[in-house]
């Protein structure tokens, strides 16, 4: 069974077609990069999966269940959106505990889960800090820990590295690869406009252009034998 399945999902904003009948399937434990230029519909696709917006057409399935009509908090996903800042007035611990408290988890369970995910992202020593006391990269790790705290079967990442400088981005790619190995059953959809990031991280890459899926396939295959000129130029323009 697939972790995520989109069937002909369309999103219109007035006259703008942000997503034009997207079909997409992500397997349990798979990391899929959604790659494309700015404005191609990547964030819109992610928001449709997360439930932050209602598709104009089509259906969204999670673990085989049709969730098209469910609000975000009923979908049980982990989401890290670029604009999703941490809660500035809360310590790291409380930021990470937020989703668990919303689900009325017990005190011990919260303590155990928060400790576990902070260790997972290498931030165990930072639980009492405030977000403003952390670097951009550290804040992003906390945002990922917060998303993982509820043990989501699917983790959605929207340009999680784009605010970081090049050196830090390299570190975070290594970090995400390690994380992936630790979470073999978690499906990850990683939105990026950076071909290098997609090639480094993804099992498969889905290339988007103008609200549509252009090509999809195993990362290496797509790089070595791009099915279309667009994918060739987009992937080939790395470095």
Choices 35-43, 55-63, 105-113, 221-229; region in contact with Mg ion by CB under 5 A = 35-43
Is residue 116 classed exposed, middle or buried when 0-12, 13-18 and 19+ CB atoms within 10 A define those classes? middle
- Of Mg ion, ligand ADP, none, which one does residue 40 interact with (CB within 5 to 8 Å by kind)? ligand ADP
Distance CA 168, CA 138 (A): 10
Cα dihedral 169/170/175/180 (nearest 10)? 100
- Of Mg ion, ligand ADP, none, which one does residue 16 interact with (CB within 5 to 8 Å by kind)? ligand ADP
Binding residue for Mg ion, selected from 43, 192, 195, 231, defined by CB under 5 A: 43
Dig out the tokens for 205 from the structure.
Answer: 């890459």
Helix or strand (DSSP H, E) at 19? strand 16-27
Q: Choose between 32 and 145: whose C-beta lies nearer to ligand ADP.
A: 32
Q: Choose between 16 and 228: whose C-beta lies nearer to ligand ADP.
A: 16
Cα dihedral 160/181/154/216 (nearest 10)? 80
Q: Choose between 92 and 191: whose C-beta lies nearer to ligand ADP.
A: 191
Q: Smallest gap, in angstroms, from Cβ of residue 189 to Mg ion?
A: 13
Q: Choose between 94 and 158: whose C-beta lies nearer to ligand ADP.
A: 158
Residues that bind ligand ADP (CB under 6 A): 13, 16, 18, 36, 38-44
Nearest to 113 by CA among 167, 164, 152, 140: 152
Q: Smallest gap, in angstroms, from Cβ of residue 136 to Mg ion?
A: 18
Q: Choose between 42 and 113: whose C-beta lies nearer to ligand ADP.
A: 42
Q: Choose between 44 and 138: whose C-beta lies nearer to ligand ADP.
A: 44
Nearest to 43 by CA among 71, 84, 8: 84
Nearest to 238 by CA among 182, 180, 191, 198: 198
Q: Smallest gap, in angstroms, from Cβ of residue 165 to ligand ADP?
A: 21
Q: Is 44 in the site for Mg ion (CB under 5 A)?
A: no
Q: Smallest gap, in angstroms, from Cβ of residue 53 to ligand ADP?
A: 8
Q: Smallest gap, in angstroms, from Cβ of residue 40 to ligand ADP?
A: 4
- Of Mg ion, ligand ADP, none, which one does residue 84 interact with (CB within 5 to 8 Å by kind)? none
Q: Smallest gap, in angstroms, from Cβ of residue 82 to ligand ADP?
A: 9
Distance CA 105, CA 197 (A): 35
Dig out the tokens for 100 from the structure.
Answer: 């668990």
Round to the nearest angstrom and report the end-to-end CA distance of the chain.
37
In the complex, the residues that contact Mg ion under the rule CB under 5 A are 43
């Amino acid at each position: 069974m697939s972790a995520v399945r989109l069937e002909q999902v369309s999103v219109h904003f007035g006259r703008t077609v942000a997503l034009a009948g997207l079909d997409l399937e992500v397997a349990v434990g798979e990391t899929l990069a959604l790659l494309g230029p700015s404005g191609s519909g990547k964030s819109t696709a992610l928001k449709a999966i997360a439930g932050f917006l209602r598709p104009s057409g089509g259906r969204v399935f999670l673990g085989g269940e049709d969730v098209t009509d469910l609000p975000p908090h009923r979908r049980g996903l982990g989401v890290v959106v670029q604009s999703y800042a941490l809660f500035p007035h809360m310590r790291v611990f409380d930021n990470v505990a937020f989703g668990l408290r919303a689900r009325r988890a017990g005190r011990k369970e919260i303590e155990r889960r928060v400790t576990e995910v902070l260790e997972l992202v290498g931030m165990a020593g930072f639980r009492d800090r405030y977000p403003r006391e952390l670097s951009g990269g550290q804040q992003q790790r906390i945002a990922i820990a917060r998303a993982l705290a509820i043990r989501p079967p699917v983790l959605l990442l929207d340009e999680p590295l784009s605010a970081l400088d090049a050196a830090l981005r390299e570190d975070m790619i290594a970090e995400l690869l390690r994380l992936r190995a630790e979470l073999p059953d978690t499906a990850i959809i990683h939105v990026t406009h950076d071909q290098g990031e997609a090639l480094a991280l993804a099992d498969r890459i889905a290339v988007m252009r103008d609200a549509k899926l252009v090509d999809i396939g195993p990362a290496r295959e797509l790089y070595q034998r791009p099915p279309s000129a667009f994918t060739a130029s987009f992937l080939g323009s790395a470095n």
